[in-house]
Amino acid sequence: MAKTVIIEEFGGPEKLKVVDREVGDPGLGEIRIAQQFAGLNFIDVYQRTGMYPGQLPLSLGMEAAGIVDAVGEGVTHLKPGDRAAYASMPPGAYAEVRVMPATQVVKLPDGIGFDTAAAMMLQGLTVEYLFHRICHVRKGDTVLFHAAAGGVGLIACQWARSEGINLIGTAGSDEKCALALEHGATHCINYRTEDFAAKVRELTDGRGVDVVMDSVGADTFEGSLNSIRPLGWMISFGSASGPVPPFSIAELGAKGSIKLTRPTLFTFIAERETCQKMADHLFEKVESGAVKINIGQRFKLDNTRAAHEALEARKTTGSTILEI
């Protein structure tokens, strides 16, 4: 039996329940992993509320790190005793032990702790694809990155600095802006006190940025479009403030033939070889010291509700993890 956090109906953080679940043996292409830490992400909130519906009862959590204790038939890249980490479908990371598909589970280098790995897999792989798998942001380019003091944002600030990319961040307080600047943002705009689109134009001498990376959604979408140079990119990769409402695609032409995409990480890591290459790139950044993972909050598995409440209230900075 393994302690597991589930929901039996969609709704608020009060719907989270801790139960004991039986854990079986891994089948074809699966592993069983004893988990040390799990990461907390906004996708967990989307699944809990039903914005991204799943079959109930549903165990939540998309990333974790621990030790492989059994492998099923056909699994050749992992063995019992391996240190491992993942960002993977299906959800179920909020658990002491789980059986799961092995495809997106990668070996964890000895130099990276379980807590660090759980805090960085989904967020770090997200940054890797944002910078390298869509429009290949180059040295000297300027990027607007919303929620720059969050878990993904602080990794993105450091990643940009390590590659000579100018990153203009946004955050909801002067303190959060200071944190983003400490982590490598070239500028950071407090969106509560300034019109970020107007400030972006000022900072770029009226040109606009090459790429916007926007995980906020409804609240920032229009301003994001107004911040992009002609022929630039709009990458909408999340909906923290709610989904982007319908709009006319003619706006993209009117604003300078802007290219718009709505990607998800799991498309990029669907194949094991690509997932491993992306993970290796992330591990290299972390082991070299170019990217340091900021764990801003730690909660016990039994206190997952409080973790969700803090995340939704935007009271978190950096990454949030659950200690299992």
pLDDT digits (tens, 9 = 90+) for 236-272: 999 888 899 999 999 999 999 999 999 999 999 999 9
Is residue 317's pLDDT more than 90?
A: no
Q: For the segment 210-222, what is each residue's pLDDT rounded down to a tens digit?
A: 999 999 999 999 9
Q: What is the pTM of this model?
A: 0.93
Nearest to 2 by CA among 39, 35, 49, 47: 35
Is residue 7's pLDDT more than 90?
A: yes
Rounded Cα–Cα distance for residues 276 and 105 (Å): 9
Residue range 150-163: mean pLDDT, rounded: 96
Please give the mean pLDDT across all residues of the chain.
96
Residue range 21-35: mean pLDDT, rounded: 97
Q: What kind and span of H or E run contains 251?
A: helix 250-254
pLDDT score of 318: 85
3-state secondary structure of 83: strand
Q: For the segment 74-109, what is each residue's pLDDT rounded down to a tens digit?
A: 999 999 999 999 999 999 999 999 999 999 999 999
Rounded Cα–Cα distance for residues 313 and 297 (Å): 14
Can you read off the two tokens belonging to residue 288?
């070299």
Residue range 50-79: mean pLDDT, rounded: 96
Contact 139, 164 (CB under 8 A): yes
Residue range 16-34: mean pLDDT, rounded: 97
How would you label 281-301 residue by residue, b for 16+ Cβ within 10 Å and e otherwise? bbbebbeeeebebbbbbebeb
Give the pLDDT band of residue 314 (cuts 50, 70, 90). confident
pLDDT score of 199: 98
Can you read off the two tokens belonging to residue 290?
């170019």
Residue-range domains of the chain with CATH: 2-122+266-323 (3.90.180.10), 135-262 (3.40.50.720)
Residue range 46-66: mean pLDDT, rounded: 95
Residue range 291-310: mean pLDDT, rounded: 96
pLDDT score of 240: 85
Rounded Cα–Cα distance for residues 277 and 271 (Å): 10
Contact 41, 64 (CB under 8 A): no
pLDDT score of 223: 98
Rounded Cα–Cα distance for residues 113 and 72 (Å): 25
Q: For the segment 192-201, what is each residue's pLDDT rounded down to a tens digit?
A: 999 999 999 9
Q: Give percent of the chain with pLDDT exceeding 90.
A: 94
pLDDT score of 260: 98
